[in-house]
Every structure is written in C-alpha cells, then in structure tokens.
C-alpha cells in the first residue's frame, strides 16, 4: 500500500471535511510517493519521534495534534521546529495529523475515554455538524451481487456505529428492453428481458456518495446502472464534541477522582466541589474543553472532565453546581495511538506507538 492509498483509506473513516473550523487536520508534510513503511503513531510531532522514525526506517508519522496549527512567518536556523522540518524532508517522511475528526466520531477519543473510566449510557452533547447519510440502492444481476457489496464496503459505505459492511439484499425480477444504440450485457434489441436481480441496500456519508456512484458504475455489468440514493434523517447521525454518561453506581467525588488518577496515572488533580458529595452523571471532553462549560451546566452534570482549566473556569462550575475534574490535556489524549490502532485494526498494518510528553508532574 502506498502512502497516498493509506491516506485515502484513513479519510474514508476519518473524513477531514468534519474537522472544526480552527483545526488543521490532514497532510502536514508530504505525501511522498512511496510504499507505506513502519508508520508511527504519536500524540505530537517532536524531535524525539522524528529521530525514532529515522532510526526504524519509518516513512510516515501520524499525530493527533497538527504540527502546523498556528501560522508562522519564519524558519530560523537555530530553531527546533526548523530542525524537525529539515529532517522530515531530508528523509522523505510524510506527516499526517488527525485531530478533531477522531475526537468527534463514534469510537473516537471521547468515546474511548468514557468507556475507559467505566461510563455507561454514553451520548453526545455539543452538536458540531450533521453527518449527512444517504441510503443507496443498487440493482444488479444475481451473478454480480458480491462484487457490488464488496465495492460499497471498499468505498466507505455500510458503516453503522462500529459495524462495517452493513447491507441488505433482496431478490426480484428486473425487466428492460434494449433499443437503438445500446450494447446490453444481457438481452437483445427490441425484446423485453427478464433477469434475476438483487437489490442491494446500504448507507454512505454524503461526502462519499458521488465517488461511490462512479466506482459502482465502473464494475457494474449493465450499460445503464439502476441505482438510487436519497437522504436519511436520523438524530444519531450528528457529530458531537463532548460525551456524557453515567457511572453504574454513585461515588463520592473523592473516590471518583482517585479512580481517575489510577486509570490515567495522573499524580495530582485539580478540582472544585465537596469531596464527600455523591456523583454519577459525568461529562467528558478530552483535550481542552473549557469552552463547553455552559453546555455542561445545561446538561446538569455532576462532573465535567477536561483539561487546560483556568481559575475562573472552576469558579463558573462552582457557581453552577457541578465539579470540574481536570485530567490534563496529555493525560486524556495519551490514548490516541490506541484509539487509532483500534479503528484500523482490520487492515493488517503494524503501527509503532510513541508515547511521550513534555509536560511533567512532581
């Protein structure tokens, strides 16, 4: 598989089109025209991970945080970022970042963290765009039904939650009559033909629909493909920036904080609220989620877990009757390599996972 083919595969499941307006997910450097070799997954792009890539002969680094996030106007000779760029270019190493798309999707960063800490009844809140889904129906001779089912799956169709290859097939009789200037796969001119056909139904995001239609037309045996597509409206097709869920049993805030410290290995935690009060309804925004505190208050959460929390953020939570428990940016997002590997486990690609952080505790 080439690097470009791998990027296309990633973007079928993690479309760049759903990123937030402030984000810069996607290609950071490259892509170079090479076969994918020893890809590395890392939270950030650092000199340490670049040196590791060179050491193990990797030609691709996939990070959660974009390397080019804010504009810069100079590349100074004595700057670490300049050294990183030079090493990447000199060694033909492609860099790709997948930031807010993997936060928002089902099975992404927020969902993983919720399950990790033991939440149940997990739902999204803070809607951020609609995942417009289309129902697709293809009519094909029975002899070619598997070909179409496979093509739908290859092009990113048939995903419902964390289930892939979802289709429904029903049998029937198709009729048609070829006329002048036709070249029918089955049948002869001016005679009605009766063919055993299968109707294959599936779903696909709007962003992938046009490409799917073109690819189905390439492999379908008929000169004129009988195919339909129409939009679906379902509330669970929305994307959400945060998640909420419940603990199986109410816990005192102190016990819940100790539970979080044990799981994340964070040594110390900042919070607000009475340590003896019982908590059960929990909200999560991995990384930095203080811009969603009003949403957390509206959801009547007991606890909101996020990072990059300021003094007045704690004050706001205290005034609105919920606790913020600050699990730092890197401690909630340290699981990026695990989440990415799980999402792409079916493609038989071995990823090297790099865990490092410039933020320390004592």
Q: What is the pLDDT of residue 235?
A: 55
Q: What is the pLDDT of residue 205?
A: 86
Q: What does the DSSP 8-state code read for residue 44?
A: S
- Order of strands, sheet of 226-232, starting from the edge strand that comes earlier in the sequence: 168-176, 193-205, 133-141, 226-232
Find, among 94, 93, 89, 120, the residue nearest to 10 by Cα: 94
**Cβ atoms within 10 Å of 263's Cβ, excluding its own:** 14
pTM score: 0.80
Q: What is the pLDDT of residue 86?
A: 94
**Cβ atoms within 10 Å of 218's Cβ, excluding its own:** 9
Provide the phi-psi class of 90: left if phi over 0, else alpha when psi is between -120 and 50, else beta: alpha
Helix residue ranges per DSSP H, the chain: 3-13, 47-55, 80-90, 100-104, 109-116, 145-154, 206-219, 253-264, 293-298, 311-319, 329-333, 336-343
Token representation of residue 34:
């090479």
Provide the phi-psi class of 126: left if phi over 0, else alpha when psi is between -120 and 50, else beta: left
Phi/psi for 275 (5° steps) reads -65, -20
CA 109 to chain centre: 8
Domains of the chain: 3-102+336-354 (3.40.1390.30), 104-128+239-329 (3.40.1390.30), 130-236 (3.30.70.120)
Q: What is the pLDDT of residue 130?
A: 75
Provide the phi-psi class of 150: left if phi over 0, else alpha when psi is between -120 and 50, else beta: alpha
pLDDT along the chain (362 residues), means of 10: 92 88 94 94 95 97 94 80 94 97 94 98 90 91 94 89 88 94 90 95 89 93 93 77 97 98 96 97 97 97 97 98 96 95 90 82 74
Q: What is the pLDDT of residue 150?
A: 94
Q: What is the pLDDT of residue 341?
A: 95
CA 335 – CA 109 distance, rounded (Å)? 8
Q: What is the pLDDT of residue 132?
A: 82
């Amino acid at each position: 598989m080439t690097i470009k083919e791998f990027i296309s595969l990633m973007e079928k499941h993690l479309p760049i089109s759903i990123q937030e307006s402030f984000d810069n997910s996607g290609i950071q450097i490259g892509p170079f025209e090479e076969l994918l070799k020893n890809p590395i997954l890392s939270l950030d792009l650092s000199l340490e991970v670049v040196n590791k890539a060179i050491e193990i002969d990797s030609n691709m680094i996939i990070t959660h945080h974009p390397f080019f996030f804010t504009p810069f106007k100079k590349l100074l000779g004595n700057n670490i970022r300049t050294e990183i760029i030079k090493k990447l270019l000199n060694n033909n190493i492609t860099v790709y970042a997948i930031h807010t798309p993997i936060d928002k999707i089902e099975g992404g960063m927020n969902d993983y963290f919720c399950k990790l800490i033991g939440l149940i009844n997990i739902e999204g809140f803070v809607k951020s765009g609609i995942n417009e889904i289309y129902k697709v129906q293809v009519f094909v001779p029975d002899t070619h039904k598997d070909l179409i089912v496979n093509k739908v799956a290859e092009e990113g169709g048939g995903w419902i939650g964390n289930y892939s290859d979802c289709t429904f097939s029903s049998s029937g009789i198709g009729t048609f009559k070829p006329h002048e200037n036709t070249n029918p796969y089955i049948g002869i001119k001016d005679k009605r033909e009766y063919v055993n056909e299968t109707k294959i139904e599936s779903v696909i995001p709007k962003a992938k629909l046009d490409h799917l239609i073109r690819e189905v037309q390439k492999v379908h045996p008929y000169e004129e493909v009988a195919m339909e597509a129409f939009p679906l409206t379902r509330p669970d097709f929305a994307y959400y920036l945060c998640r909420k869920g419940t603990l199986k049993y109410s816990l005192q805030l102190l016990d819940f904080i100790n539970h979080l410290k044990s799981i994340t290995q964070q040594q110390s935690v900042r919070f607000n609220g009475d340590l003896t009060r019982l908590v059960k309804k929990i909200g999560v925004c991995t990384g930095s989620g203080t811009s969603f505190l009003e949403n957390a208050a509206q959801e009547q959460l007991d606890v909101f877990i996020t990072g990059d929390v300021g003094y007045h953020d704690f004050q706001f939570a205290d005034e609105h009757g919920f606790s913020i428990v600050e699990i730092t940016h890197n401690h909630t997002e340290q699981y990026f390599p695990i989440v990415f590997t799980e999402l792409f486990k079916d493609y038989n690609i071995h990823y090297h996972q790099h865990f490092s952080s410039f933020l320390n505790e004592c």
